[in-house]
Amino acid sequence: MKASIIVPTYNERENLKILVERIANSLKEREYEIIVVDDNSPDGTWKLAQDLAQFYPIRLIKREGKRGLASAVVDGFSYATGHCFVVMDADLQHPPELVPELIDAIEGGADLAIASRYVKGGGIRGWSHFRRFISMGAVWLARIFLTSVRDPMSGFFALKRDVIEGVDLRPRGYKILLEILVKGKYSRVVEIPYIFEPRKLGQSKLNKKQYVEYLKHLISLMRYKGELQRLLKFTIVGVPGVLVNEGLLFILTELLSIHYLLSALLSTECSILSNFTLNDLWTFKNRRDRGIKRFFKRAIKSNLGFGIGVLINLFILFALTENAKVHYLISNLLGIIAAFIWNFLISIRWIWK
Ligand code: GDD
Ligand code: MN
> 239 falls in which pLDDT band (50, 70, 90)?
confident
| Phi, psi of 65, rounded to the nearest 5 degrees | -150, 175
pLDDT, tens only, 11-35: 999 999 999 999 999 999 899 999 9
Q: Across residues 180-202, what is the average pLDDT?
A: 95
Which residues are paired to 159 by β-bridges? 85, 112
Q: Across residues 276-291, what is the average pLDDT?
A: 91
What is the predicted pLDDT for the residue at 206? Answer: 79
Same domain, yes or no, for 125 and 146? yes
Whether residue 202 has pLDDT greater than 90? no
d(CA 149, CA 139): 9
What is the predicted pLDDT for the residue at 2? Answer: 96
Centroid of ligand 2 to alpha carbon of 199 (angstroms): 6
Whether residue 113 has pLDDT greater than 90? yes
d(CA 55, CA 318): 73
Whether residue 255 has pLDDT greater than 90? yes
Contact present, 34 and 5 (Cβ < 8 Å): yes
CA 153 to ligand 1: nearest atom: 39
What is the Cα Rg of the chain in Å? 26
Ligand 1 mutation pick, 73, 136, 206, max ligand atoms within 8 A of CB: 206
Centroid of ligand 1 to alpha carbon of 68 (angstroms): 9
What is the predicted pLDDT for the residue at 331? Answer: 94
- Using alpha carbons, select from 318, 309, 316 the residue that is nearest to residue 340: 309
pTM of the shown model: 0.87
d(CA 155, CA 196): 10
The residues lining ligand 1, judged by C-beta closer than 6 Å to any ligand atom, are 8-10, 12, 37-39, 66-69, 72, 89-91, 93, 153-156, 174, 196, 204-206
Alpha carbon 272 to chain centroid, angstroms: 29
| Host H or E run for residue 84 | strand 84-87
What is the predicted pLDDT for the residue at 8? Answer: 97
Which residues are paired to 196 by β-bridges? 124
Same domain, yes or no, for 221 and 235? no
Same domain, yes or no, for 160 and 258? no
Contact present, 320 and 338 (Cβ < 8 Å): no
Neighbouring residues of 15: CB distance < 8 A, sequence distance ≥ 6:
90, 91, 92, 201, 202
- Using alpha carbons, select from 217, 88, 106, 102 the residue that is nearest to residue 162: 106
pLDDT, tens only, 130-168: 989 999 999 999 999 999 999 999 999 999 999 999 999
Q: Across residues 184-211, what is the average pLDDT?
A: 91
- Where in the sequence is the domain holding 326, given as residue range(s)? 227-351
Same domain, yes or no, for 177 and 113? yes
Same domain, yes or no, for 249 and 120? no
d(CA 19, CA 16): 5
CA 135 to ligand 1: nearest atom: 39
Q: Among residues 225, 260, 293, which one ends one of the domains?
A: 225
| Host H or E run for residue 150 | none
Same domain, yes or no, for 45 and 189? yes
Whether residue 265 has pLDDT greater than 90? no
Alpha carbon 134 to chain centroid, angstroms: 13
Same domain, yes or no, for 79 and 181? yes
> 10 falls in which pLDDT band (50, 70, 90)?
very high
- Closest C-alpha to ligand 1, atom 35: 155
For 292, other C-beta atoms within 10 Å of its C-beta total 7
Q: What is the mean pLDDT of the chain?
A: 93
CATH value at residue 189: 3.90.550.10
For 235, other C-beta atoms within 10 Å of its C-beta total 12
CA 37 to ligand 1: nearest atom: 1
> 245 falls in which pLDDT band (50, 70, 90)?
confident
Centroid of ligand 1 to alpha carbon of 93 (angstroms): 10
Centroid of ligand 1 to alpha carbon of 214 (angstroms): 14
What is the predicted pLDDT for the residue at 308? Answer: 93
Question: Domain count of the chain?
Answer: 2
Q: Across residues 299-314, what is the average pLDDT?
A: 91
CA 7 to ligand 1: nearest atom: 16
| Phi, psi of 157, rounded to the nearest 5 degrees | -165, 165
Whether residue 3 has pLDDT greater than 90? yes
The Cα-based distances of 166 to 45, 77, 110 in angstroms read: 31, 12, 19
Ligand 2 is a single-atom ion; what residues have CB below 5 A from it?
91, 93
Share of the chain above pLDDT 90, in %: 78
What is the predicted pLDDT for the residue at 182? Answer: 96
